[in-house]
Structure 1
Amino acid sequence: MTRYALITGASSGIGLALAEALARRGRNLLLVARQRDQLETIALELTQRFGVEVLFRACDLGEPLRLSGFLLELEEGERQIDLLVNCAGIGTCGPFLAQDWMTEQDLIEVNILALTRLCHALGNSMALLGGGQILNVASVAAFYPGPWMSTYYASKAYVLHFSEGLREELKKCAVKVSVLCPGPTRTGFFRTAQMDTKKLNDSRLLMSPEEVALYAVRALEKNRAIIIPGRLNRWMAFSSRLGSRWLTRKIVGYVNRAYCPR
């Protein structure tokens, strides 16, 4: 039975960079995102460059019925998923009460519910097959409260804590679980979240998706629990434990508000 790495959010950014890094290592891929045309182009390119099999499925993970159909297809198929990479994610920026509720709900559906459901379904399949690996993508934001991006920060805190808990639970099943916590990365995230990208372009904090993916894949091979690319990002994660919570809230809120639309 042929084995595949399933990557969500694979049409751009860190998801695409992870797909390329894994294909470079000879992994067959199953790419999932909303944009079918982009996935088709990416699949053809990766197949030609690296000689691996690259399948793709267009699926909006924010729609539970479509996700159910996709999981049923996986269950009834003959392809074995031995690596799940949950990279799909949505961000919003601005006062919580001013946000469109459907957008906030979509964020929760994708960042939390779809990720958890994929871990449950494929975690069970991996356990039955004798092992596998899960990489959930959170953020350095997971270590902080995030005024003016409250739902996004909270969703990433969920991913971090859920992944750590799942890692302990699934050890006995030979299923390894890691969580990737990148800092600010040069992707379309800021534009999608309607953040002021002009203030971010020259930031020393920004890493490229390729840098993040390379670091993540190497750490994944070592079965690291929490993967934080970049020395400055690791310091940021550690420093969240040092300050008082009220001061942390104030500082993060001040920074986020500067990048949010007025």
Structure 2
Amino acid sequence: MAVRTNIVITGASSGLGEGMAREFAARGRNLGLCARRRDRLDTLAAELTERYPGIKVVVRELDVNDHDRVFSVFDEFRTELGTLDRVVVNAGLGKGQPVGTGHFAANRQTVETNTVAGLAQCEAATAIFREQNAGHLVVVSSFSAVRGMPRNLTAYAASKAGVSTLADGIRADTLTTPIRVTTLLPGYIESEMTGRKSGRTPLLTGSAAGVRALVRAIEKEQAKAYIPPWPWAPLSVLVRALPAGLLRKLT
């Protein structure tokens, strides 16, 4: 399997995106990093290039809901890095409230960011990969995508199911080409998003271990992977089979 040298990561200023950037930098990869917080990207890029002087790190400020800018930023990354070997669609939003309780704006923002902006990133990346006749698209979905979820997870789970299905379709469409597509379904991994949740998060994986599991799965270029595999792969079978009433009690 060829080494993917030039890697773009969206949502790279914090959390899992920042963690993946650090892990890939340690492996000697060149990086295109984008997020809304340019100051944090600049700090991260300076740190990584000082620690690993053989790599190149390019940064761009990007709100993925600015769809035209997604396309232009990805093109700029390709120009500066030479090729795009892998794009990790990681930027996302985790807020939401039960449907019908007067919080449409929050639920809409989650769906727009995770699904519609996810589509923009997949379109931009896959267009470049088709031109190159090579590339690896990685879509960071969520364990919540395995079925419809109650309460605050309803819109979020639906948005992640949408982007998962999108990745499945792109994979089927590019199956006979050198383009590879990976869907990642992380369980609870310590990050800014989980840190904002109130109360105790069950089955929480530490940030470092979670990032290593993500990068291992990405490097294997699997079609689909639960992160970490234990306990989330077997739990996916259980959660799909649970009666709705029991699922509601457990979530």
Q: TM-score scaled by structure 2?
A: 0.88
Q: CA RMSD in A?
A: 2.2
| Aligned match of 2:145 | 142
2:158 pairs with 1:163? no
Q: Mapping of 1:67-146 within 5 angstroms?
A: 67-71=70-74, 73=76, 79-98=82-101, 100-146=103-149
Q: Deviations over 1:26-66 (max 9, x none)?
A: 11001111111111111111111222111111111123354
Q: Deviations over 1:185-225 (max 9, x none)?
A: 11111355xx31x322xx4x111232222222222222211
Q: Deviations over 1:55-86 (max 9, x none)?
A: 11111112335435535645776742110001
CA distance in 1, matches of 2:109, 2:68: 14
* Count of residues paired in the alignment: 245
Letter in 1 for 2:247: V
CA distance in 1, matches of 2:116, 2:48: 29
Unaligned 5+ residue runs, structure 2?
none
CA distance in 2, matches of 1:144, 1:78: 39
Q: CA deviation at 1:167?
A: 1.3
Q: Deviations over 1:97-137 (max 9, x none)?
A: 23543332322222111211221122121122121101100
Letter in 2 for 1:121: A
CA distance in 2, matches of 1:7, 1:106: 21
CA distance in 2, matches of 1:254, 1:17: 33
Structure 1 residues 76 and 105, CA gap change in structure 2 (3 angstroms): farther
Structure 2 SS opposite 1:7: strand
| Aligned match of 2:249 | 254
Structure 1 residues 27 and 106, CA gap change in structure 2 (3 angstroms): same
Structure 1 residues 252 and 42, CA gap change in structure 2 (3 angstroms): farther
Letter in 2 for 1:24: A
CA distance in 2, matches of 1:212, 1:155: 22
Letter in 2 for 1:242: A
Unaligned 5+ residue runs, structure 1?
257-262
Q: CA deviation at 1:147?
A: 1.0
Q: Is the 8 A contact 1:81 1:126 kept in 2?
A: yes
Q: Deviations over 1:138-191 (max 9, x none)?
A: 111111211112110011111222212211211222110001111011111135
Structure 2 SS opposite 1:81: coil
CA distance in 1, matches of 2:81, 2:14: 27
Structure 1 SS opposite 2:6: strand
| Aligned match of 2:29 | 27
Q: Is the 8 A contact 1:140 1:236 kept in 2?
A: no
